[in-house]
Structure 1
Amino acid sequence: MAPRIAVGHHDEARQPDCIRAVVAEIVLTFLFVFAGVGSAMAAGKLAGGDGTIMGLTSVAVAHALVVAVMISAGLHISGGHINPAVTLGLAVGGHITLFRSVLYILAQLIGAVLACFLLKFLTGGLETPVHTLAAGIGAVQGVLMEIVLTFSLLFSVYATIVDPKKSVPNGLGPLLVGLVVGANILAGGCFSGASMNPARSFGPALAAGNFTDHWVYWVGPLIGGVLAGLIYEYFFKVDTHIPLSREEEPY
């Protein structure tokens, strides 16, 4: 099968739909990170901290809910990516141009950074908790963990939102993706932090000035996202349907 990756053109940056989509990614990622990092800060402040099973569960639930809502809110504008790994995973399947992908990723990083600095201000200077590897977990283990978790996330995005032959009703996909994110945090949160999202890791790291192990949260998620996109798009997705118009495309 011929590659579907589209490079795009810098003229996209002047198109109204692209401008709206990029601004939407800033807003959506800001709201996602504000709730996600805020839940981790709240769990750390309350009795027991976020290292307990209750703390981990509360963080997982918060991420599951906000991911589901933000994807739903942005699906018709930008696709509701809120994650560079999602953007890159969709780019390798030809669902977004590489040029627009760069704009999306910059927007996601901006949204994440703004959310974390605002959280730091609103909480009286509390440090934003950063993703780091747990004791006894090496860099290779952390990268592999993030690859698997992000692969799971992107595979779910393709299977429940992108694939026109999906078996789930329209509108249910974002909720299912949110549930996968929550489940992955419960599975990997105590080991790698279960980032699955470079922007989600970058915002707190910049606000806290702590980039320990930070590269893991770029390499792992981006590899996992690309692998899931390539495998689903070129192996599982069957394009025997009538192509959707630009306005109808879910991504």
Structure 2
Amino acid sequence: MAVNTSGDIELAEVDSYNGLRQRKRGDSHLPPVASRPFAGRIGGNQEFTLSPDSSSFHTVVSKIPDAAALFTWTQSFSLQGFTDIELWKESFIEGAGTCLQIYLAGLYAVGLGPAVTATSLGPITPAAFGSIANFLLITLFIYAAAPVSGGHFNPFITMATFFARLSVLPRTILYILFQSAGAVIAGFLVRTSLGAPPETFHTVPGCYIDPALVTPGQAYALETMTCSTLIFIAFGVALDPRQRQVFGPAYAPVLVGLTLGLCSFASGIARPGYGGASMNPARCLGLMAAGEKFEYHYVHWMGPLTAAVLNGLLYWVIPIYKD
């Protein structure tokens, strides 16, 4: 695999990436696929990483450490990644994709909000429909953008890959900033599209917490445990290379979507005054910004952050790779 004078990866010889099946042998006349190696790609099971056997491994990893399956904390905290133009492009894709995802999620969240009290089944109806919609939404968006940016579209996923040492600090910071900005834009686009007042967003499922019924401690515990469940399964089926030959990148996004749908449903019906776990701080940031109400919003960040740290400790205690 060649590296040009500016240090960027030449994609013309991307076939040297370990296990990367770029095309069938009969399609060698096609242009090279523009997909950079990234260990923290959701659904990739670390298949799309740079092989240590590559002649340019050290040159590439010195600039993009998370192109390889293993890198040190010193490499992760290097600020050189901020000078990588391709990383900024990938971050922009994360922001644009998050905007589109939150826009759709905001539409059906606003639509399902009144159903909490409009049917005899109470919160079961919006929780069920919301979980199905979340399953489809997350699965399709991962499929759409995983080859480009990794398909995170969620600060929680990005934080979790950072603490598990699959994403470097510059990527983590840029992704979260772009994801948050995209979500806020989406929230106001939903508000503008519906011509709705801010109060419309105060009870959207996944972000609604009634302070009269739910204490901060209860909300934090619910958010943390639901996020821990999501990330435990997501890492097991979509990021663990030991599943590469079992599920592989083709089925992993579906399994992640199913997991999020299950967590959405379980948390949405369990506690009166609690509209279900967010599991995506950017989503609630955008919708609560549109609603001009941030009560308990810190829980939507502290819960995922705690779960991400605990997941990172788990992968440190029981590492994926042998020493």
Q: Identify the TM-score tier after normalising by the shorter chain.
A: 0.7 to 0.9
How far off its partner does 1:189 sit?
Answer: 1.9
Q: Which protein is bigger by CA-based radius of gyration?
A: 2
Partner residue, 2:263: 184
Structure 1: any 5+ residue segments left out of the alignment? 242-251
Q: Distance in 2 between matches of 1:32 and 1:223?
A: 24
Q: Distance in 2 between matches of 1:205 and 1:169?
A: 36
1:98 aligns with 2:169: yes
Partner residue, 1:111: 182
Q: Distance in 2 between matches of 1:235 and 1:75?
A: 28
Partner residue, 1:61: 132
Q: Distance in 1 between matches of 2:307 and 2:320?
A: 22
Note if contact 2:99-2:186 (Cα within 8 Å) is conserved in structure 1.
Answer: yes
3-state SS of 1:159 partner: helix
Partner residue, 1:246: none
Matched ranges for 1:1-251 at <5 A: 4-5=72-73, 6-44=75-113, 48=118, 52-126=123-197, 127-128=200-201, 129-130=203-204, 131-134=207-210, 135-166=212-243, 167-190=246-269, 191=271, 192=274, 193-231=276-314, 233-240=315-322
Q: Work out the number of aligned pairs and report it.
A: 239
Q: Distance in 2 between matches of 1:136 and 1:42?
A: 23
Task: With the length of structure 1 as denominator, give the TM-score of the two structures.
Answer: 0.86
1:43 maps to amino acid: L
Structure 2: any 5+ residue segments left out of the alignment? 1-69
Cα RMSD, aligned residues only: 2.4
Note if contact 1:35-1:62 (Cα within 8 Å) is conserved in structure 2.
Answer: no
Cα distance change of structure 1 residues 229 and 73 upon mapping to structure 2, 3 Å threshold: farther
Task: With the length of structure 2 as denominator, give the TM-score of the two structures.
Answer: 0.68
How far off its partner does 1:82 sit?
Answer: 1.3
How far off its partner does 1:236 sit?
Answer: 4.1
How far off its partner does 1:216 sit?
Answer: 0.9
3-state SS of 2:184 partner: helix
Q: Distance in 1 between matches of 2:112 and 2:78?
A: 44
Task: For residues 218-239 of structure 1, give each alpha carbon's deviation from its aligned partner in whole angstroms, at most 9, with x where no partner exists.
Answer: 11111112212331x2244431
Bigger relative contact order, structure 1 or 2 (CA pairs below 8 A, ≥6 apart)? 1
Q: Distance in 2 between matches of 1:178 and 1:239?
A: 26
Q: Distance in 2 between matches of 1:10 and 1:154?
A: 27
